[in-house]
Amino acid sequence: MRALARIGGIGLAAALALQPGLASAEALTPDQQRFFDLYKELVETNTALSTGSCTQASAQIATRLKAAGYTDADITQFSVPDHPKDGGIVAILPGSDKKLKPMLLLGHLDVVEAKRADWVRDPFTLTEEDGYYYARGTVDDKGMSAIWADSMIRFKTSGYKPKRTIKLALTCGEETTFAWNGAQWLAKNKPDLIAAEFVLNEGGGGRSGPDGKPQVLAIQVGEKAAQNYTFEATNPGGHSSQPVPDNAIYELADAIEAVRGYEFPIKFTDTTRAFFTATAQSTPGPLGDAINRLLANPNDAEADKLVSRDKTMHSTLRTTCVATLLAAGHAENALPQRATANINCRVFPGETVEATLAKLKELAGPKVKVTMNLPVRPTAVPPPLDPKIVGPAKAVAAKHFPGVPMLPLMSTGATDGIFFQAIGIPVYGVPGIFVDPDFNGIHGLNERIRVKSLYDGRAYLYDLVKVYAG
């Protein structure tokens, strides 16, 4: 899932940018048309968990890569017997300088479920209207995945010889925590295949203002770990005509209320400190002052109260936990024998899911059982705010998006990057693909991307990879 933050109306903190749309796909150059054909095929290949096949999508990418000149030795298609439709692909373009470690382009092929009855248009038919492409996955993450595959094809057909080896990994399972995850499988079972000095991933991007003009670019440097926990209260129950104080629903409700009232302590990484410093500089008045006070003293409760009115700033400052699912009772005329809740936590980099479990147990109290749901995510490791990564991203952006500032961003969400960070490979969410302030229906209805944004992002990311690769 894309990790673009939503920060409203405060100068640079208005966060991420987009440009006005291209009028029509009819204006595409032949080179852009070849990309469009790949993009359309990928978007229209259903890769939702319940009905789709990432294996089919990866096979289609493999066919295009081979047509461009990649050999069977350059391409690895993978899946496991228990999950034959959840396959992925790794492709490699060797570099000329063996002293340089490879770089890895990472994308995910799976998409969030989409019901045709809920959408205005068929979610698995790419439709162009009013300067937008509509369909499930047009942004998340088939936009970037198509750009990465297209870039590998263009490198090969143009005869480009990179100094640094360029690897591509397109995987399945990012959108569903309980699904088989191809990125996790690669990191665990094929670490040599995807070994790299750094990974370029989703999570950065850009955002426009209400007028559609670019405001800010963002490069994601770090993310939280997503982890689910179950709260469970049990009771012998009985007839509802004779209620007693010991009630599983009430006990669960008290535990949830305790979670609601608790604020995890404020923490900073190098990325979030740089982000808030830049935000304070561009935000006059009480809010900017409050941000500066928090930077100086994370325990300043009054400053925290003011800054945390913005939901994204609040989540960027700390671990967060929230109730997302409830189930209770077995009959309308019986006292409940069981009540459960799912608590979804986004754990701040460097903090462990086990420590978060301990805090939740403390909050829930002795009458509510708290367990950690599978799968258990690795501890989020904040990558360095490396000038060798950030510098080129800014320099190339200055040519493609002149005058648009770029902020380092820690995602409050989560991506497959966490599995590569866990084996020591830093992951960066690159800028370049812009979305509207309403988030373009990502994970929701009528997902869309401006036509111009897609092709501008393609041009930027192609040039950026070449700079990193040499």
Supply angle C-alpha 324, 203, 53, rounded to 5: 75
Q: Are residues 110 and 52 in the same domain?
A: yes
> In this model, does residue 402 exceed pLDDT 50?
yes
Residue 254 domain flag = yes
- Under the banding of pLDDT at 50, 70 and 90, the label for residue 441 is very high
- Under the banding of pLDDT at 50, 70 and 90, the label for residue 79 is very high
- Reported as type and span, the H/E element at residue 393 is helix 387-400
The predicted structure's pLDDT at residue 4: 45
Task: Write the CB contacts of 218 (distance below 8 Å, at least 6 apart in sequence).
Answer: 4, 5, 15, 16, 204, 205, 206, 207, 406, 407, 408, 409, 429, 431
95-132 pLDDT, tens digit each = 999 999 999 999 999 999 999 999 999 999 999 999 99
Q: Are residues 414 and 337 in the same domain?
A: no
211-262 pLDDT, tens digit each = 767 789 999 999 999 999 999 999 999 999 999 999 999 999 999 999 999 9
Residue 277 domain flag = no
> In this model, does residue 3 exceed pLDDT 80?
no
Q: Are residues 194 and 129 in the same domain?
A: yes
Three-state helix/strand/coil letters over 207-270: EECCCCCEEEEEEEEEECEEEEEEEEEECCCEECCCCCCCCHHHHHHHHHHHHHHCCCCCCCCH
Q: Are residues 247 and 395 in the same domain?
A: no
Q: Are residues 256 and 357 in the same domain?
A: yes
The predicted structure's pLDDT at residue 385: 96
Task: Tell me if residue 110 falls in helix, strand or coil.
Answer: coil
Domain-terminating residue out of 339, 372, 405: 372
Mean pLDDT, residues 430-445: 94
CA distance 295 to 273: 7
Cα atoms in the Cβ-side hemisphere of radius 13 Å centred on 411? 31
> In this model, does residue 70 exceed pLDDT 50?
yes
Residue 460 structural domain: 11-224+381-469
Residue 171 domain flag = yes
Residue 311 domain flag = no
CA distance 216 to 10: 12
The predicted structure's pLDDT at residue 177: 86
266-281 pLDDT, tens digit each = 999 999 999 999 999 9
Q: Are residues 237 and 133 in the same domain?
A: no
Report how far apart the first and last C-alpha atoms of the chain are (Å, whole number): 30
Task: Write the CB contacts of 197 (distance below 8 Å, at least 6 apart in sequence).
Answer: 100, 101, 102, 103, 164, 425
pTM for this entry = 0.91
The predicted structure's pLDDT at residue 418: 96
Q: Are residues 113 and 123 in the same domain?
A: yes
Residue indicated by tokens 């040499």:
470
Task: Say what percent of the chain tops pLDDT 70.
Answer: 94
The predicted structure's pLDDT at residue 11: 38
Report the chain's mean pLDDT, rounded to a whole number: 93
Task: Say what percent of the chain tops pLDDT 90.
Answer: 90
CA distance 9 to 395: 26
Domain-terminating residue out of 372, 390, 406: 372
CA distance 17 to 211: 11
Mean pLDDT, residues 371-380: 94
Mean pLDDT, residues 41-48: 98
The predicted structure's pLDDT at residue 24: 53
Residue 284 domain flag = no
Q: Are residues 38 and 164 in the same domain?
A: yes
Residue 28 domain flag = yes
Distances (CA, A) of 377 to 333, 435, 466: 40, 28, 33
Number of domains comprising the chain? 2
Mean pLDDT, residues 146-154: 98
The predicted structure's pLDDT at residue 6: 37
The predicted structure's pLDDT at residue 7: 39
The predicted structure's pLDDT at residue 241: 98
Q: Are residues 101 and 220 in the same domain?
A: yes
Task: Tell me if residue 426 falls in helix, strand or coil.
Answer: coil
Q: In this structure, what CATH number is given to the domain that contains residue 391?
A: 3.40.630.10
Residue 289 domain flag = no
Residue 276 domain flag = no
Q: Are residues 335 and 407 in the same domain?
A: no
88-98 pLDDT, tens digit each = 999 999 999 99
> In this model, does residue 35 exceed pLDDT 80?
yes
The predicted structure's pLDDT at residue 178: 85
Domain-terminating residue out of 372, 389, 405: 372
The predicted structure's pLDDT at residue 14: 36
Roughly what angle, to the nearest 10 degrees, separates helices 54-68 and 30-43?
Answer: 160
Taking 3-state DSSP, the helix, strand and coil percentages for the chain, each rounded to the nearest 5, stand at 35, 25, 40
Under a CB-based contact definition with an 8 Å cutoff, are residues 198 and 428 in contact? yes
Task: Write the CB contacts of 391 (distance below 8 Å, at least 6 apart in sequence).
Answer: none
- Under the banding of pLDDT at 50, 70 and 90, the label for residue 184 is very high
Q: Are residues 240 and 116 in the same domain?
A: no
Q: Are residues 419 and 330 in the same domain?
A: no
The predicted structure's pLDDT at residue 211: 72
